[in-house]
Structure 1
Amino acid sequence: MAERYGILEEEKVFKDPVHRYIHVRDELIWELIGTKEFQRLRRIRQLGTTYLTFHGAEHTRFNHSLGVYEIMRRMVDNLGQKMTWDPEERLVCLSAALLHDIGHGPFSHSFEKVFHTDHEEWTRAIILGDTDVHTVLKGIGNDFPQKVSDVIAKTYSNKLVVSLISSQIDADRMDYLQRDAFYTGVSYGHFDMERLLRVMRPSEDQAVFKHSGMHAVEDYIMSRYQMYWQVYFHPVTRSAEVILSKILHRAKDLYGQGYQFLDKPKHFYSLFSGKITLEDYLKLDESVILYYFQEWQEESDPILQELCRRFMERRLFKYVECDPSAQMKIWPELIQLFGKIGLDPNYYLVIDSSSDLPYDFYRPGEEEERLPINLLKPNGDLRELSRESDVVEAISGKKRTDHKLYFPKDLLEDQRTFADEKKRIMTLLTAQEG
């Protein structure tokens, strides 16, 4: 292990509204925070378009990443009372926690869907590529960046380390549930993290929890369940994401058609062509995206212009609940009617689905293996959480899915030429709501 980084002469402290203080004692962590790649996260919101629903949700990936680091630091310290950490492996834990989201693009998941990118792949590219982050990590050793990347990829040899950053109860989730609840102003995401950290114990493959702390774990699971349906899948936020996605799709389609933009979207060229480099990717943040949305309001293409104005002015699509199986029967007619009145159904008629599995355990033969949350009994036996908790058993393995159909109700109501078509559209949409 190289001696380039040690302990800071004086501890650095960030004031934080969720954890009160974030403590940095390692030179390595302080250097990583100062890199341009990590500072870029200040310009990417943690919750994408959620600020259009909950006006306080302006916090960033930078805030969240520091919070995950702080929880990991406390986990490592607490577990260190029950086990001995290798000094380098301790730094692997802290670095992976800090950098786990460094590959996120602007508006995160909506952006990924349009351009088929994966933030975890970009995270590993930043850690292993020609970046300041990579240079700092190599100060520990030539193989240290690969070790941190392996934790992100879930291929690291020490599965306990992986579980602390990526499992059904980990530092990442512990921070974003509390942080997102704080900034959106809701009460759902609060749970007793102090208790969880106190009852966490190391095992060979993952962290487990003392049986006496089961109710704190239940509280965490239910907080996650409520946050997904009350905040993350909020229908207004989803409407904004639909419009955002359609703007990006329209710009990409126009580029492919040879359309001449008034303000050439040079930041998008490599994305549109599917040949984006790491250097190009790191130039993207939400200020760049919003700049183009502002400019595209003046474009001659009516669809791009209208969608951008709609997003920037927060004139979001309305929605109706829909049953996909029943909806398919009327879908061809809806598409025809939208086209007839001059609304391209590719951009103005959208089905959006959300689903969440609040807790599950490994089921042999299924595609995705989920490590269970295990409780440590006084006699040393491990028991899977849902076998001990009636509350968790009630929701365990039960995937909840929600489908909504989004459309521009204001444009339909303003329609005066095709009165019969408008009436029929509204009849079909209203029927969807049952």
Structure 2
Amino acid sequence: MIPVELAMSTPPRTPSASRARAGARTLVGLSLLALTACQPKVRYADSVDVKFDLRLSDRFDDRLSPPYVLGSSFTVYVYDRAERTDLNGWELRTNVPGVITIDDQFIDEEDINEDDNSNTRSDVIVADVFAAGEGSVVLEVYDDAGAYVRGIEVEVLQPDDFTLRAAGPLFLRDEDRAPSEVDASPQVLSGGTATFEVEWYRDGQRLYGAGALEPTSESEGVSDLWSRRNVLSEDRDWMTLTATPAMGGTIAPVDIRANGEVIGTVEFELEDSETIDHLTLTGQSESGREDDDKLVVLAQALDADDETIWGTAFDWDLNGATEPGEGDLFRYKFERSKWSTLAASFDGQRVEMDIQGVEGVVDSSNNSFEDGCLCSAEDPKAPWGGSSLALGLLVLAYAPLRRRRRGA
């Protein structure tokens, strides 16, 4: 704490009682101001991904993301906005057991975010936690003397409803032109693979976090089914389904479970390729783009009623030259006025559109960044293409969450 000094150039006069009281109040006010200035300014953050920006969460904004879904696991960060604060010996605790369990915590000596401009050099408490039970709990911070510093109350809930969203349209982030939400009977191509995000709700309120999803099916129409935590660099609850070949016309029920409880059932309608009536291409807007921005085109197969048949993997060509790979996404580098014809085809059908760009790469909405990182739409200048670049993007994606243990 910086001491408060009242400088005087001449000897003080004896004050009246009222002036003495006023002076005392001024001195107390200045002392409290100085005390407040040097007190810890403890802040919280978590690793929960609440914004669909096609990158891992790196928010450090004194906001947690409750209510959390039961069964989710994530990281809580505690730091100090006051400069050069040593948090050695500080600890994150909970006021009641069994709601959020702290599996591990350590002190990170590095800045909370190396890319910020705050000049904050606070240590960081990094705690891996698990939403173990329903209820409310206070996340409490204690200093090295065991004194309480700050607490924030959060809630953990078991979901009672969910929304299913197809992964492909999410990559475009344009719900008006490419809606992602699917109904209770989505169509999937027989023999195809499709990925969906499961959004959890309780009494109509969105729950956050990932790790609760357990999809199951006894249908012969489902040859493979699994949950995963990462698609398009988004840490959420995702479900990937592979439909059994030659099972067109089959209804394949899938139970959407959270922590073992069936929250609802999705009846997937398996369709043969003959059901596909036409193909469409939807691209991100090129308006206002700059050269070298990275854009995406989504291909979709639709039936005669304009309902999407998910899980279709397309062949692509650019200006007549075949592009390697199959998938529902094509990523390309924007180059103004360099027009090309991009085409997607499947089972004898073909659709074309004009784009401004002469090079790109085929990708799939079934990919996670482990499979080959999809570039962030928030950072259109990011490099892409090729295994070495994908590895570099993987490292960059993890960078905000990397931590160095004290003494390591």
TM-score of the superposed pair, with normalisation by structure 1? 0.21
More helix by share: 1
Q: Highest CA radius of gyration, 1 or 2? A: 2
More strand by share: 2
